Amino acid sequence: MDIGRHILKFLLISAAVAAVFACKKDDEEQEILPSLGGSLRFDAEPYILQGDSLTFVPSGIYHPDGAGIGFYWQVSPSKEAQCTTKVESDPSTVTGQFGFRFRNDTLGTFTVSCTAFASGYYSTTSSRYITVVDPAESVIDSTLGFDESRFTYFKDERDGHTYRYVRIGSYDWFAKNLAYKGTDGAEVGIAYENAEAMSDVFGRYYTWNEAMGIDGDGAETGTGICPPGWEVPDSEAWLDLANSLSADGEGSFTNALENFDGIAGKMMVDAKFNSADNGMWEYFPDVQITNESGLCIIPCGFANIAGGSGTFESVNLFAAFWTADSNTENQEQAFIRYINVEAPDLFITSTPKTSFGATVRCVRKTE
């Protein structure tokens, strides 16, 4: 698995494995065994926090003759995590479930495997990749010499999250993606791969309606996604940012709806994920990553959202952020600003307001 390219993306491997062989009838022959019925599976979050305890319950597999099935579990590379939780002779009330706690000092990807076995049958194995993360340590954001003292910190009183921010031009900009998920049971946004452990690592992915505080009936609630005093950046804020980062610093951009050439590398941080070896932005010679702005942008990609969950695309390749601007030529869409790792520019396009999921950087005007 190419962890640097795919940012530890959740995978499923479910295959019948010939793990139990009969005794040889002679030097050349082996008995062909039948397979167990069904398809072995178990549920598992693709990302979890350090110290989390999980319980895995096998399902979907059965003995063709109605007899018992055993279950054997293994977590690798943790050598001590090997356990037979059920043997064939155990009663049917024994589920074969397996519990495991990931250590508080552990980061990285583990393989959890379950093997179903029965005498006279091929065994069957199903596996899941699980990545252990820590919001404070999983994104190693080397700022390439950027002065850390330039950051200021802000606490969102709604949920207690703390964000660092940086002053650029006429605005203060969050230097981390917003992770607010609502209060009073009204959840907004989704976490990467629908795993809540990633909410504070990548921030959350919001629809434009969520970001702007528009309810399910299309009515404005008067409260956007950002903390009080902060807002989703509009075209004026993005234009101000671009001119502050332009090559001459003299305001070379005039059209708020144009692509801003040559500034992307000043916004991107050469970040690693969970290890100094796992670079997030892929290398392209046309893009010089300096993080001169201090925005510390990482490539979280985007989401296609439906029914409160999402499918995720272009992690390690794109960063996408909502603007506050609706597309006047297509009221079903709003504008995003995005970075493509292959180009040194900050691009603009419009996407659906209710099904496209992008991250949010909050701003407030200082002048």
Looking up residue 127, the CATH number of its domain turns out to be 2.60.40.10
Dihedral through CA 212, CA 218, CA 219, CA 224, nearest 10? -10
Among 112, 133, 154, which residue terminates a domain?
A: 133
Do residues 32 and 20 lie in contact, with contact meaning Cβ atoms separated by under 8 Å?
no
> Is the same domain home to 7 and 60?
yes
Q: Is the pLDDT of residue 335 over 60?
A: yes
Q: Is the pLDDT of residue 22 over 60?
A: no
- Distance between CA atoms of residues 86 and 11, nearest Å: 26
- Distance between CA atoms of residues 238 and 161, nearest Å: 24
Do residues 55 and 96 lie in contact, with contact meaning Cβ atoms separated by under 8 Å?
no
**Per-residue pLDDT, 77:** 86
**Per-residue pLDDT, 143:** 67
pLDDT band at 13; cut points 50, 70, 90: very low
- Distance between CA atoms of residues 64 and 339, nearest Å: 54
Among 95, 117, 133, which residue terminates a domain?
A: 133
> Is the same domain home to 253 and 300?
yes
pLDDT band at 20; cut points 50, 70, 90: very low
Q: Is the pLDDT of residue 252 over 90?
A: no
Segment holding 210, helix H or strand E: helix 208-212
Stretch 163-190: mean pLDDT:
93
> Is the same domain home to 127 and 143?
no
Residues 46-105: tens digit of each pLDDT: 999 999 999 999 999 999 999 999 999 999 986 667 899 999 999 989 999 999 998 888
b (16+ CB within 10 A) / e for 297-326: bbbbbbbebeeeebebebbbbbbbbbbbbb
> Is the same domain home to 29 and 111?
yes
> Is the same domain home to 126 and 225?
no
Do residues 294 and 151 lie in contact, with contact meaning Cβ atoms separated by under 8 Å?
yes
pLDDT band at 240; cut points 50, 70, 90: very high
> Is the same domain home to 56 and 127?
yes
> Is the same domain home to 35 and 180?
no
- Distance between CA atoms of residues 362 and 192, nearest Å: 19
Average per-residue pLDDT in the chain?
88
Among 133, 154, 173, which residue terminates a domain?
A: 133
Q: 251 lies in which domain range? A: 139-365
Q: Is the pLDDT of residue 18 over 70?
A: no
- Distance between CA atoms of residues 118 and 158, nearest Å: 54
The pTM of this model reads 0.87
**Per-residue pLDDT, 322:** 98
> Is the same domain home to 50 and 167?
no
Query: To the nearest whole percent, how much of the chain has pLDDT over 70?
Result: 88
The count of structural domains within the chain is: 2
